[in-house]
Amino acid sequence: MQDIGNFRDCTIFDTVGNERSAEPQECIGLERSAVWEEVGVEQRLLDSFMGRPDAAVERLKVRLK
């Protein structure tokens, strides 16, 4: 999770719910915490199977500046 107002404020959650503060560089390659509607999941799967980048996923990537 990355704060929109302060990009240097990041939190990493693990699979059992633990969380810790992190530097933005540690979040490269991780997915931002989000809730997906059915249509978004369908589009994301379709893009993945077709080898296309998904616009929503690209917008949610960690920001370093």
DSSP H helices in the chain? 38-50, 55-60
Q: What is the pLDDT of residue 32?
A: 83
Which residues is 12 bridged to in the sheet? 20
Per-residue pLDDT at 65 exceeds 80: no
Convert the pLDDT of each residue in 32-59 to its tens digit: 888 889 999 999 999 999 999 988 888 8
d(CA 44, CA 8): 27
Q: pTM here? A: 0.67
